[in-house]
Chains A and B, each alone.
Chain A
């Protein structure tokens, strides 16, 4: 029961993120979502008394709640980019779209997953909705940093989805995914610096030298 509350929290964090107009608000939203994901995993670990789950929860906290937001905030400070995210789709419409995503997730889950038997319905729907929101954020915001956060949000969704349908991925795979995600964020961060230095902006819609 408690886990469901945290999952609903993740959905709310989703809405917070798409409604955000400034980079710092977006990072805070992501931080909140990661924190709720960590708490949900921790409760699962305490319940099942599984050492591996404790480690996963700990890594989740370290990476997504502490290191990644710290790293992103540092980038924002260092490159002195303007706070505005640059929305292709305004906040109100974005919120509405995320609502539609959630409904689509519900339809998908109720059609293809035998919800109730082996699959946790709520976490399944929420994870799909989180994934779609991540993709949506990547394509509807101008600043390159949003694409990094979008990728991380997709990964959050995948994590919950794996837990919902099959009780989580095997331990070693989970660790490998964490490692990849972390390296990916670092590399993308470095490229954000480079883009800022070469173009003096980080607006992805202006990256269009290569065509055809």
Chain B
């Protein structure tokens, strides 16, 4: 039942802008809607965590603990982002940056974007999964090119072209999976059928197919070296959308990769996917560490940090074992919360300073004390220092790697993370401290914006101190799906 509520709500909210004129009211209705989504998403995840196997409807939808966990993450970020949108869009409209009509289009596309992600997380059919992920690109393309400037249109163009080609490669992989299954006598693209027949499939075909899947969906997930669209799109999109792109869109593509990896693991052993994950994970970590140092633009810095965290998650899944998978899944959630928080900070900075160049921005702590405090704490959280939750999940992955004896992986992991840590904390502290620029008009922070900040900040703090029992159950259950137990 919760499942239908989760899918229907974004569609209903899409209609709101048709009937209501004031875009602040639309924003509030939107946020209330996503608030009401949190409880069903949590209930769904908890029920599945305690109830064992997944639920399936008409053989079309299939939700197990893994998808429920990703739905929960999406719902959390969706709520935070809708809360942040209220004031962001209202101010943009008031300043005449975007017209009232465009604000309405924004809310419609925002909901379409979230719907396509929820849809991708709930379908059983791998072909429909592909179509849903392509839909996420199409729904968000206009949100990336929203300001209609040269840069944003260029970013949007690259975004659609690169992701569409990537995803075409993933479709090729999907067809190969289909071919492997039809060879064993069943003609179906349903994930459940494939997982059931996994042992009978031809491992040689699956291995080749998985390469295409990893490169294809990996493009969308921002895995290096296919990440080239990501910094452009993340930095040019509207800030609430940057948060959604980075926090959940990448994770939806990752979810797709995991679904295929589960099948391959059952058929060809864990080693194959694990090694690929570790290779691409470390590559992402290394490349992003290099670019993070060089960044001058705060939104691009955060974008490269997303690539870094995708790398962390991939290494976690690659190490596998109970602890590695648990850590990787928890990191998915933690990164989603921390990264959207930081993007919201960057949005407030952009609003007040009218620039994202970190060489110019100084004295954020004096200009916007609330944002300043959150930004510096968030920078520490994002780069994985205690007592925040990202530290816990990163240390879990590291411990898993260590106990497995992958010392080289451990060493590289630590080196790249420390580089990113230094770069992020250094840059953000320069932004937060220092003198307030003279003659600056401060816009201040709205209550809804502060609420969004507090909501996300509490999440990364609480999970850093203690993992609540119910959340532990959800993660464990999702981990069991990934490891195929």
**CB atoms of A207 and B142 under 8 A apart:** no
CB distance from A201 to the nearest CB of B (A): 12
Which chain B residues numbered 147 to 192 have a C-beta less than 8 Å away from chain A? Answer: 148-151, 153-158, 160-161, 164-165, 168, 171-172, 175-176, 178-179, 182-183, 187-189
Closest partner residue, chain B, to A112 (CB atom): B208
- Choose from A118, A151, A165, A207 the contact partner of B168 (Cβ within 8 Å): A151
- Choose from A165, A167, A172, A210 the contact partner of B128 (Cβ within 8 Å): A172
- Which residues from A are CB-within-8-Å of B64? none
**CB atoms of B141 and A187 under 8 A apart:** yes
With most chain B CB atoms within 10 A of its CB, the pick from A151, A177, A191 is A191
Of the listed stretches B131-139, B251-259, B281-289, chain A binds: B131-139
- Choose from B150, B175, B187, B294 the contact partner of A162 (Cβ within 8 Å): B175
The 16 listed contacts between A and B (C-beta, < 8 Å) are A112-B204, A165-B175, A165-B179, A166-B175, A169-B178, A170-B125, A170-B127, A172-B125, A173-B128, A176-B127, A187-B142, A195-B154, A207-B154, A210-B151, A212-B291, A212-B295
How many residues in B have their beta carbons less than 8 Å from beta carbons of A?
49
A180 at the interface (CB under 8 A from B): yes
**CB atoms of B182 and A166 under 8 A apart:** yes
- Which residues from A are CB-within-8-Å of B175? 158, 161-162, 165-166, 169
Closest partner residue, chain B, to A198 (CB atom): B150
Closest partner residue, chain B, to A135 (CB atom): B165
**CB atoms of A198 and B131 under 8 A apart:** no
- Which residues from A are CB-within-8-Å of B168? 131, 151, 154-155, 158
- Which residues from A are CB-within-8-Å of B458? none
- Which residues from A are CB-within-8-Å of B154? 195, 207, 209-210
Q: Per-position contact with B for A115-159: 1 when CB-CB < 8 Å, else 0?
A: 000110000000000010001001000001001000100110010
Which chain A residues numbered 161 to 198 have a C-beta less than 8 Å away from chain B? Answer: 161-162, 165-167, 169-170, 172-173, 176-177, 179-180, 183-184, 187-188, 191, 194-195, 198
How many residues in A have their beta carbons less than 8 Å from beta carbons of B?
39
**CB atoms of A173 and B125 under 8 A apart:** yes
B300 at the interface (CB under 8 A from A): yes
- Choose from A138, A158, A179, A194 the contact partner of B148 (Cβ within 8 Å): A194
**CB atoms of B127 and A169 under 8 A apart:** yes
- Which residues from B are CB-within-8-Å of A212? 231, 291, 294-295, 300
**CB atoms of B183 and A180 under 8 A apart:** no
**CB atoms of B125 and A184 under 8 A apart:** no
**CB atoms of A194 and B153 under 8 A apart:** yes
- Which residues from B are CB-within-8-Å of A135? 165
B82 at the interface (CB under 8 A from A): no
- A198 touching B149 in the complex, CB below 8 Å, given contacts A112-B204, A187-B142, A210-B236: yes
